[in-house]
Structure 1
């Protein structure tokens, strides 16, 4: 049986965070020497640090929160496509790929993605992909960029277009060394009550 491939950005003090967001930090709040039995750690971070899902509540006050998300959305057959030669992903780009018989699409936009550096520029999605992906029966879009919209966007047109068409969002995947093809995907969000997103441990396994 083929092994699972980890496509999660490592969470460490070196990881890049969204400009202005809370830096990732792990500390021991108590050591084994202090407790006599165990080390106890604590984590400080924004929920959109590293590989994560966006709950619709992130950009819509009436949208689903993280604890509302259906775990089945984040488990199942996915197609990974290499779109690194394009600066913008729109219908014209996606029409070049066979998206039949899958419900999840993963986009490799930058084979040299460095998770320690927040990119000055990155590939984003055109809002027209929302209706197109719905027509194709897609429920989840994943991308190796920090967002499906530009860093300075306030309107978040791609986020809304995807959500309005029933498509959920997975961001900041680590796909540098992964080839295009069909995979099984597991990328489960934590059940954070009331949250607008969640870090995930994303893994894929090539389909037999």
Structure 2
């Protein structure tokens, strides 16, 4: 009788599916009106005497999928490189509020908050516009963010460019972020993501002086 192998072989782990929820960043990628667009030049190019390509980038930290740091809406707020990373990594729920109008209100999310994890991403677009800035972008009603904070949420995300309407001068929802110490992701692409629970991975860069950071936002199957 053949001897049993020790230790016994482990079963192969099934690779969990990933959803890339970051829009492409390139020359011409839409930015908030007045913000710095993405620009790229070559500081070095492959050729005789040069073994590498090296790019020089100019961009706002709010280009593409990004995390606003508290400094963005509070003069005493932490910079992107000094925020706690824990809110940007872990279980999250995607909730659909497609076509609900200019503001996501409590009643648009109430159907999906049983057993809510501490991270919530809200899909408002049927197809998120990736080739233009939407001046009528959907945003959060400030009371919705307060309600989510009361439910234990630590991070909110949205598939539009801002949690406030594009023409807002008071930034009421950003002020709720400040008051409730919430973290936020904006400009996500949730077009292909079903409502449900996932693992979020969207770490900001260690930009010690910046008011925001680009992220490569990814959802992973639980």
TM range (shorter): over 0.9
- The equivalent of 1:77 in structure 2 is 91
Displacement of 1:73 in angstroms is 0.9
Matches within 5 A, 1:33-72: 33=47, 35-72=49-86
- Indicate the residue corresponding to 1:102 in structure 2: 117
1:130-151 CA-to-partner distances (Å, cap 9, x unmatched) read: 3211211000001000001011
Contact 2:73–2:178 (Cα < 8 Å) also in 1: no
- Following superposition, the deviation at residue 167 of structure 1 comes to 1.2
Correspondence for 2:133 among 105, 118, 127: 118
Match of 2:189 among 140, 150, 174: 174
Q: What residue number does 1:89 align with?
A: 104
Q: Which has the higher strand share?
A: 1
Question: Is this contact kept in 2: 1:100–1:136, CA < 8 A?
Answer: no
Counterparts of 2:114 and 2:71, CA distance in 1: 28
Q: State whether structure 2 residue 20 is matched by structure 1 residue 6.
A: yes
TM norm structure 1: 0.95
Residue in structure 2 matched with residue 194 of structure 1 by the alignment: 209
| Deviation sequence 1:41-95 (CA, Å, 0-9, x none) | 1111001011001001101101111112111110000000110131121222222
Q: For residue 25 of structure 1, what is the aligned residue in structure 2? A: 39
Unaligned runs of 5+ in 2: 1-14
TM-score by length of 2: 0.89
108 and 31 in structure 1: CA distance in 2 versus 1, 3 angstrom threshold: same
Give the alignment's Cα RMSD to 1 decimal. 1.3
Residues of 1 paired with 2:86 and 2:157: CA distance?
15
Consecutive unaligned residues in structure 1, runs of 5 or more: none
Distance 1:24 1:96, change over 3 A: same
Quote the Cα distance in structure 2 between the aligned partners of 1:34 and 1:121: 50
Report the 3-state secondary structure (helix = DSSP H, G, I; strand = E; otherwise coil) of the residue aligned with 2:149.
Answer: helix
For 2:195 and 2:132, the matched residues in 1 are separated by: 24
Q: Determine the C-alpha separation between the residues in 1 that align with 2:122 and 2:157.
A: 6
Aligned length: 207
Q: Which moved more, 1:85-94 or 1:128-137?
A: 85-94
Which is higher, the Rg of structure 1 or of structure 2? Answer: 2
